[in-house]
Amino acid sequence: MSARTEPEDVSRLARAIRSGDRTVLSRAITLIESRRADHRRTAAALTQALLPATGKAVRVGITGAPGVGKSTTIDTLGSMLTQKGHKLAVLAVDPSSRRTGGSILADKTRMAQLANDANAFIRPSPASGTLGGVAAKTRETMLLCEAAGHDVVLVETVGVGQSEIAVADMTDFFLVLMLPGAGDELQGLKKGVVELADMIAVNKADGDNLARAKAAAVEYRAALHILSPRSATWSPPVITYSALAGDGIAALWAHILEHREKLGASGELAARRGEQQVKWMWAMLEERLFAPLRSDRALKAALPRLEAEVAAGRVAPAAAVEEIAAMLAR
């Protein structure tokens, strides 16, 4: 795409996205995920053009161990929201090298209701890439979805470790899902994920699991007392619910709205979003600076040799960095 025609194309894309054209929205997201230099320029111009139409959605991050019921939770919650007249977008952050099993977005049959819902837009994360790069693309995708009129965005983390932090850093509300029978799961508190939580929700609180779910909730409440909350105006609640039966889903959403109201009134929500925008900028810059390491043939060929020499103690890490930097600067 030439520089001469780019502004006209960006304007046309922006108009179509704001009108809610799902086909154009999907194409625009593919553009954003591209690593081509001309596509990056167009994507940057497009997000800038759409920026005034963004920022109004409720952004919710969702995490939980495999088997906790993330897909069923999203399907049930999302369906309730679309029935209430909301337009929903479901996105994922997955830093794995290829799409994997275990992601709700890799198997839409796990979200049978939303997969066929005209008011729901489901989009997986880019097929591969660094966590910072994938997260940055997900943030841009979120802006496009908001500009297209989606007023609730659910961002699921299907990776591990730092992906939870990435999702917490791009959403207003971070929901951590847990299973009944806390026990060993309380050890997960040491990993810092629960410290990011704006709410802990214990799923599968039905039938024989009901008593165990309530007991787990008590343990999590006690554990939260020794952690510092993310917000000065919000104490993370611990609730029980059943995604399968739908029990407690309305209460779960009510807590999200209460959190939004309180942090909005205190100015904390605006401040949090501002900080997130700056982190987004640095994540994208880091991804851009590292791009030559993946695309420059000479550099890619030299890296294994340098790594081997550093590992063998023949070359100091600092000297290797200087050589890499010199190759990048040439």
**pLDDT of 109:** 55
pLDDT of amino acid 236: 93
| DSSP one-letter string for 175-244 | EEEE-S--GGGGGGGGGTTGGG-SEEEE---SGGGHHHHHHHHHHHHHHHTTS--S-SS-PPPEEE--TT
Q: What angle do CA 6, 8, 11 make, to 5 degrees?
A: 105
pLDDT range class, residue 13, cuts 50, 70, 90: very high
Mean pLDDT for all residues in the chain: 85
- pTM (two decimals): 0.86
CB 88 within 8 A of CB 102: no
If you average pLDDT over each of 104-113, 214-223, 248-257, which comes out highest? 248-257
pLDDT confidence bin for 8, thresholds 50/70/90: low
* Confidence grade of residue 98 (pLDDT, cut at 50, 70, 90): very low
Where does residue 44 rank: exposed (0-12), middle (13-18), buried (19+ CB within 10 A)?
A: middle
- Identify the band that residue 188 occupies on the pLDDT scale cut at 50, 70 and 90: low
| End-to-end alpha carbon distance in the chain | 27
The pLDDT value recorded for residue 287 is 78
Q: How far is residue 71's CA from residue 59's CA, in Å, rounded to a whole number?
A: 17
Q: Is the pLDDT of residue 73 over 70?
A: yes
Tens digits of residue pLDDT in 197-219: 999 999 999 998 899 999 989 88
What are 15-52's pLDDT values in tens digits?
A: 999 999 999 999 999 999 888 888 988 999 999 999 99
Q: What pLDDT sits at residue 161?
A: 66
Better-predicted residue by pLDDT, 224 or 241: 241
Q: Is the predicted pLDDT of residue 175 greater than 60, yes or no?
A: yes
Residue 1 DSSP code: -
What's the burial of 2, exposed, middle or buried (CB within 10 Å: 0-12/13-18/19+)? Answer: exposed
Q: Residue 329: pLDDT band by 50, 70, 90 thresholds?
A: confident
Residue 253 has pLDDT above 50, yes or no: yes
Kindly list the structural domains of the chain, giving each domain's residue range(s) and its CATH number in brackets, ordered by start: 1-53 (1.20.5.170), 55-266 (3.40.50.300), 281-329 (no CATH)
Name residues whose C-beta falls within 8 Å of residue 222's C-beta, 6 or more positions apart in sequence. Answer: none
Confidence of residue 4 (pLDDT cuts 50, 70, 90): very low
Burial of 101 (0-12, 13-18, 19+ CB in 10 A): exposed
Question: Per residue in 45-65, pLDDT tens?
Answer: 999 999 999 999 999 999 988
Higher pLDDT, 137 or 87: 87
Structural tokens at position 326: 């010199």
Residue 224 has pLDDT above 80, yes or no: yes
pLDDT digits (tens, 9 = 90+) for 122-141: 998 776 666 766 777 899 99
Where is average pLDDT lowest: 124-138, 184-198, 295-309? 184-198
DSSP 8-state symbol, 172: S
